[in-house]
Each structure stands twice: as structure tokens, then as C-alpha cells.
Structure 1
Amino acid sequence: MKIKKYFSLLSLFFVAFCCAQPQKTAKKTTSKDQPILLADPTIFSENGVYYLYGTTTGKTSLNGEGFMVYTSTDLKKWKGPVGAQNGLALKKGDAFGTKGFWAPQIFKFNGKYQIIYTADENIAIATSDNPLGPFKSDSKAPMFNLGKQIDPFVFVDQDGKKYLYHVRLTNGNRIFVAELKDDLSGIKEETLTECISGVLPWENTQNVPWPVTEGPTVLKHNGLYYMIYSANDFRNPDYAVGYATAKSPFGPWEKAAESPIISRKDVGINGIGHGDVFYDKKGKMKYVLHTHYDNSTDSPRKAGIIDIDFEGNKIKANAKSFVLLKE
């Protein structure tokens, strides 16, 4: 009996001691810990709000259904998806496309918000009164029919002329440009011009027969045109970002000797690239882009931001500034 009583007292002491100690529990994963799974991202900002869009990636009910949008006021805390239609800013059926909703860009034209994007390996455009959508188009047709093309980017020059940079799938992913019609209804086909293709060693590290250059962003600085682009297949760990310069929107384009300016060697994460330039509230230049999920898995891809800037006539990236975006 004494032995039983002893063990009973010992058990009570053990329980009391354990309850009095700080409990070490596994950290619960909350929504704030979740990475934002978007590829080919772009950020549009207005009235102190940043709007993040991109290609849906990973297993989600919204995959293939259009374009999600997230919002933030500080680039750190993100809410979403918050699109007007169950998280979607553009929903399949409201505009051109049945699948492959990729690489959107958002801009304002004639007081309306425009989303230009890829679907069914063609380029289309839709309109909304709100950056959250719904983006719609009466036309269920692509902007033009000249084969397969993806990754659109609209650049408006200082003289008001508009240009569509995009990727044509012809013996590789090649970047082209064409002048847009004034009403954005299509391109002036006679102006279609090839800009660049993947011919440098860093642009085709696996030496594949279908080299890839894609995801163009074009801007102008001190009278010179800059094209920021990505090269290699997005599944390749060496997917990276470089740039080229020209004295005309049509080129000829000279690739920068210091390219790539953003790569896994700089940031330590595989598959980093295909993004867009934007400016924060202080006017600081930034580049939103995607990475592989981790260094052993390429999908789903994660969205992140890195600081970039001009140094003379060169573009430099600050690898230490890179951050992944989280909900």
C-alpha cells in the first residue's frame, strides 16, 4: 500500500510540475505564414495601395479560372485573393480564353483599368472600372491572329505612341515588338519586329534546341530604352534575369555584358525571374518576380520582390533586399 501511495504522490507531483512549466508546442501555420503562390507577377499601384496579380500556380480551385489579385499598403502584409469574383479580378468566360491564363499586366487607359494577358497561347485585353475587377471584354477573340504569342507588355513612350512587347513561339521563345493601334484594339502588323532571342550561354544553360527569352518589361531612362527579360525554361534552376538596351523602341537591342543581374547565384533560390518593374511610395524602383518553390521543386512558384536601380547606364539588383511575399 505504501508503494502504491508513493507512486500516486509521485504522479501528482509530476503532473503539477509539468503543468507549471512553459509548454513548448509546435508552431502553428497560419495564413500569415503562407507564401503567395503566383508566377509571372506584376504589381500595379494607385492611391497608396499595391495590387499584385500573376499566373495562378499550384493546386487551387482557382487555377485555370482567371487571375487572382492580392492587395497591400506596405508591401509586407498582403490580403487575398480579394478579386471582385470570388478572389478573381478576371474570371474565365468574361473575356477571351479557356485555359492558360498567364502573365498579366495592368495599366490605365482612358480612365479605365486594362488587363492585357495570355490565354490559349494568344494575347487579349479586358477592361474594368476597378483594379479588383471584374475585368470583362465583349470580344471573345484575341487581339490579333499571328500564330502563338505570350507574355504581353505595353510600353507608352513620351510621344504617346504605344508598343506591345511580347513573346512569339517560333523556333524558341523570342521577344518581339509592334506598335499598338491608338485604341488598343490590335497591333500595326507592318511594324512587327524581332527584338531578342536566346543565343548567349547564360540564356540557354541546358543547350536545348528551343531557347527561351521571355517576360519582357520595357522602360526608358535618360533617353535610352531598357528591356528587362528572363531566359532559360522556367523549370530550369538557372532561370534568370538580364537586360538589353536600345536607342529606339524597335531596337537594335544590345544585351548587357553584366547579365544576368538576378540569378540563383545572387539570391540562393532556384528559378528566379519573370517579373515586372514598379515603384514604391518613396519612388524606389523594385522588381516583383517568381522563384521555384524550393531548390528541389520548381512548382508551385512563389512571388517575391527585389530592389533594382540604375547606376549610370546600367541596371543593378540588390540581392540582399530580396524577400518572398506572404499572405
Structure 2
Amino acid sequence: MQRLFSFLTGFSLFMSTAGSTPLFAQTGSASAGATFQNPLPVEFGDPYVLRDKHGKYYMYGTGGAKNGFAAYSSDDLVHWQSEGQVYYASNANGWSDSTAAWDGAYWAPEVYEYKDRYYMFYSAQWKHNPTRELENFRIGVAVADRPTGPFTDLNNKPVFDPGYPVIDANVLFDKDGKIYLYYSRCCYKHPVESEVATWAKQQGWYDSIEESWVYGVALQPDFSGVIGEPVLQLRPPVKMDDKQAEWESRSVTSKEVNRRWTEGSVAFRKGDTYYMMYSSNYFGGRNYAVGYATAKSPLGPYTKAANNPVLEKNEEKGGTVTGTGHNSITWSPDGKEMLCVYHARTTGTGDQRVVFIDRMKIGKNGKLTVEGPTTTPQAVPGKKR
């Protein structure tokens, strides 16, 4: 985790005269027709890309910093430069426990520009832990005047306490001015009855199957808390004949682990339809994959898409990529191309999660597709293909 960059085959690493480290994933010149190639030389899990009001891109993610979060910046989504650590858990209002399991579990930061300031939502281990839970994750929010920080927690406590561990915060700013927080209730101590659980027990594999579910709740305008009670948005299928059950249960059916995840949600609106992308299966395994669901209101009910999963491993098709998941969404510099930013692994990177960027589309019929995972040269975002 200390080493930010891998010297990956096919990439070049250049040192600037100022001593900073720009990272290149480009295989052509900067002119029209230039290409780039996945994976990017950035060792992040759960990557999130912010495009600020000046058109500059900033990437945040899990890893690359001790007791906090690091960031990178780019003008074109291809050349990335390290901005160093931008959030430290030891800030004046820090509420987390850096000595807890997973080194405090500083995971999945997302940064939003709002009223000329920058707000980072993230998850970490809460130091208030009277029952000594192994997974005591909560969601916090920190603020800065610049996208590169330093970020300081708004309060010396999490945004709210639902009474169970939560991760993977995602925020939707709706056009009516309301703000919604989405998150994943962890699998921890959450066994759920289902036909998949019954099947796994009959195999003699697991006594129970724990699940994580995605919830949504309205946020206070100043992010000081939530409004009302959380509403269940997405969960794994109960029935084995559900069309989503096969791909969402692979971590169990491959005997990888006794958990089924629904996490890493990202919500956005297109026209009158709300889309929620989400990740299923074990984030540390080969079967991590992405699907989506749609609704007519921000808090659902959401209906999962028939063409799920829209992003998954390609090794069974002769590729080298596994563990595709926890994505965010951004747009090309010219605003014409929608892009999926996610982490994955390759045969070359091993267990290390690295960042991919691939194009995605929503057709006239509302069908969402992701053109990935790719590892061959493709046109730079916003350039002719």
C-alpha cells in the first residue's frame, strides 16, 4: 500500500523537473488519433473521478495513503499526476480508529463540488466501539477549499449511526435540490435466508450466507445528518431461478466465501429515469462484477436490468482481466462520451487492484452498456475513434 505505482508493462514513467510524478497511459501523441491503454498505472481500489468547475479531473480511491486518502489530477483522463495525501485521519475532527482492523479501513472516498467547496464522503472504522465489533464501519464527510485538500471532517462523528456497519457512500444531488446518500450495509453479522443459502448448506459448504444490501436516505443540506429512515434499494436475489441469481451468487457457488455482496453503488439521473450501478461478489476475488437497476424516483423501487452484468471478468473469453468492480462515472473533456471508471486485476498486476477507464453508453431504449474491460489501445476520451 505504500508504493503508489507499479512499473507495468506497456507504460512509461517520467519524472518532471519539478520533482512530481506524472503518469502516462498513452500510446500515441497528444494529437488527434492518440490512444491510451488499460490498466492505468494507478494502484487504487474503488476509484472515483471528480471533474471540477474548471474542467480538471481528480481521482480518489482506496489505497496509496496511510490513515487517509491520496489523489491524482489530470486534464485529459490519460496523464495522471500524484497530488499526494489529501485527507489525514488525524485531522482536528477525526472520528475514526486507525488502529482497528484493516488499518482503520479508509475506503471508497468520493468527492463532490458543492457551493464552492469540496466534500469527501468515505467509510472508516469508528472509534466508538463498546462491543468491540471487528467491522465497525461508518460513513464520514470531510470538507476542503480545494480538491487536493487538506480535508477536515465536518464533525467529530460519522454522518449517522444506523446501528450496523456501513461502507461505500455515494451521493446524488437531484434537480429539485434534494440530496440523497446511498450506502451498503455490510455482510457482517447479517445472515439472510434464501434458496442460495439453503443450497450452500445442503452442499455442506456453509451454515449460513451473509449479505450486504444497498440503502438510500435523504441527507440534510449541510450534511450534518440524514432525514427520515433509510430505504432498502437493492439486495441479492432470494430465488435461484431469478435471472440475477447466477452472477450475483458466484462467490458462494464457486465456494469462495459465505457472503453475497451488493455494494459500490453509484446513482445518477438521465431524463426521467434514475440509474443505480452496483457491484456484486467478493471484492478480493475473480468474480467481482457490475450490474445496474432503474427507478422513477431516487429512493426506488429499483428494478434490476435484464442485461446484467454489464461489466465482468474476461479471462474465460481469452482475456487477462478479473475482479472488475466498484465503478464511478465521468465524462470526456468534450462532454460527449460517458465513461466508466473502475478497478480490476490482470494476470500482470496479480492481486493488486488497478484503475481502468472504458466507455459506456445508454441507448435510446434506456439500456446501459459498458465497452469493457479492455486492455488494447483505444482512442483518448473525446478524440475520434
User: Shared topology, TM-score over 0.5?
Assistant: yes
The letter of the residue matching 1:93 is S
Answer with 1 or 2: which has the greater Rg: 1
Could you tell me which residue of structure 1 aligns to residue 186 of structure 2?
169
**Structure 2 Cα separation of the partners of residues 48 and 155 of structure 1:** 20
Q: In the alignment, is residue 148 of structure 1 matched against residue 131 of structure 2? A: no
Deviations 1:47-80 (A, max 9, x none): 13110110006xxxx3x42110011111111111
Could you tell me which residue of structure 2 aligns to residue 290 of structure 1?
343
Deviations 1:252-285 (A, max 9, x none): 1110010011111376400011010111211111
Aligned length: 286
**Structure 2 Cα separation of the partners of residues 285 and 180 of structure 1:** 27
Residues 197, 211 of structure 1: 8 Å contact kept? no
Output aligned runs, 1:194-205, within 5 Å.
194-199=232-237, 200-205=245-250
Cα separation, partners in 2 of 1:70 and 1:28, compared to 1, 3 Å: closer
The letter of the residue matching 1:280 is S
Greater mean alpha carbon deviation, residues 176-185 or residues 190-199: 190-199
Output aligned runs, 1:13-92, within 5 Å.
30=13, 32=23, 35-46=41-52, 47-56=54-63, 62=65, 64-80=66-82, 82=83, 87-92=84-89
1:297 is displaced (CA, Å) by 3.2
The letter of the residue matching 1:181 is Q
Residues 141, 154 of structure 2: 8 Å contact kept? no
Could you tell me which residue of structure 2 aligns to residue 233 of structure 1?
282
Cα separation, partners in 2 of 1:262 and 1:149, compared to 1, 3 Å: same
Cα separation, partners in 2 of 1:322 and 1:157, compared to 1, 3 Å: farther
The letter of the residue matching 2:178 is K
SS of equivalent to 2:371: strand
The letter of the residue matching 2:183 is H
SS of equivalent to 2:247: helix
1:30 is displaced (CA, Å) by 3.9
The letter of the residue matching 1:164 is L
The letter of the residue matching 1:314 is K
SS of equivalent to 2:277: strand
The letter of the residue matching 1:103 is A
Residues 304, 323 of structure 1: 8 Å contact kept? no
Cα separation, partners in 2 of 1:220 and 1:236, compared to 1, 3 Å: same
**Structure 2 Cα separation of the partners of residues 323 and 272 of structure 1:** 16
Could you tell me which residue of structure 2 aligns to residue 93 of structure 1?
90
The letter of the residue matching 2:148 is L
1:204 is displaced (CA, Å) by 1.4
1:140 is displaced (CA, Å) by 2.2
Could you tell me which residue of structure 1 aligns to residue 292 of structure 2?
243
**Structure 2 Cα separation of the partners of residues 294 and 115 of structure 1:** 33
Q: What is the CA RMSD across the aligned residues, in angstroms?
A: 2.2
**Structure 1 Cα separation of the partners of residues 331 and 155 of structure 2:** 32
Percent identical among aligned pairs is 31
**TM-score using structure 2 length:** 0.70
Could you tell me which residue of structure 1 aligns to residue 174 of structure 2?
157
**Structure 1 Cα separation of the partners of residues 95 and 361 of structure 2:** 36
1:323 is displaced (CA, Å) by 7.2
**Structure 2 Cα separation of the partners of residues 173 and 144 of structure 1:** 18
**Structure 2 Cα separation of the partners of residues 243 and 28 of structure 1:** 32
Residues 61, 108 of structure 2: 8 Å contact kept? yes
Which among 116, 120, 132 is matched to residue 121 of structure 2? 116
Q: In the alignment, is residue 277 of structure 1 matched against residue 293 of structure 2? A: no
**Structure 2 Cα separation of the partners of residues 125 and 214 of structure 1:** 19
Which among 299, 319, 322 is matched to residue 372 of structure 2? 319
Residues 251, 260 of structure 2: 8 Å contact kept? no
Output aligned runs, 1:260-271, within 5 Å.
260-265=309-314, 268-271=320-323
1:304 is displaced (CA, Å) by 1.2
**TM-score using structure 1 length:** 0.82
**Structure 2 Cα separation of the partners of residues 155 and 76 of structure 1:** 26
**Structure 1 Cα separation of the partners of residues 259 and 56 of structure 2:** 39
Deviations 1:212-231 (A, max 9, x none): 01100001112011001111
1:319 is displaced (CA, Å) by 2.3
The letter of the residue matching 2:281 is N
SS of equivalent to 1:78: strand
Could you tell me which residue of structure 1 aligns to residue 355 of structure 2?
303
1:321 is displaced (CA, Å) by 5.5
Could you tell me which residue of structure 2 aligns to residue 20 of structure 1?
none
SS of equivalent to 2:226: coil
**Structure 1 Cα separation of the partners of residues 41 and 236 of structure 2:** 31
